[in-house]
Structure 1
């Protein structure tokens, strides 16, 4: 509790040390940084769908969890229309055997167009 009060006091003193000119300058920098950040980190539709789904329970962008990492999938499958359709179908129907014995859960309620957007995002991660 004492640490919290001490930390809050330090923050208040720090904030009080800024003049109005400094605050205006900082605000200007903040707007520039926000614009740059929003541009750089804008998510694709497929990435948004993945982040809203249960995919993150078994998959990660760079590390194997239960299922393969997205970058490993991208290494294995070239971004062809045939592979996009195949992988979208795998997402919807589920399956096992390609990456090990652990089955992937079916996502039967997922629209094929959404599954394809997800696959296109995953395959775009190929380095």
Structure 2
């Protein structure tokens, strides 16, 4: 099961989001020499759900999504679109079945003056069926 393929598929197949960031959506980090805007996603933890009979067949993942953009308003637009696509998503994509994705938090982290871009971070919980 590859949750990264799921997240990439949901985000990269949306015309509104790709109009803002193209398909510069990466696992973990932005590759060197990549132009902005871009989005990265990383899975911070994965916990199996247990029942009294053993494994319940459901994992809960904590995911961080980071949006990089030269323009604050466009960064906010990308963040709003990511939230619209991911928050309360359920279904199957790329062979991964999602019980539900919920947004937990968003932070306007900083403006990186050295590179002249804004960083916004979102946190999600993803409940995956196995």
What is the TM-score when the length of structure 1 is the normalising length? Answer: 0.27
Q: Which has the larger radius of gyration?
A: 1
What is the TM-score when the length of structure 2 is the normalising length? Answer: 0.27
Q: Which has the higher helix share?
A: 1
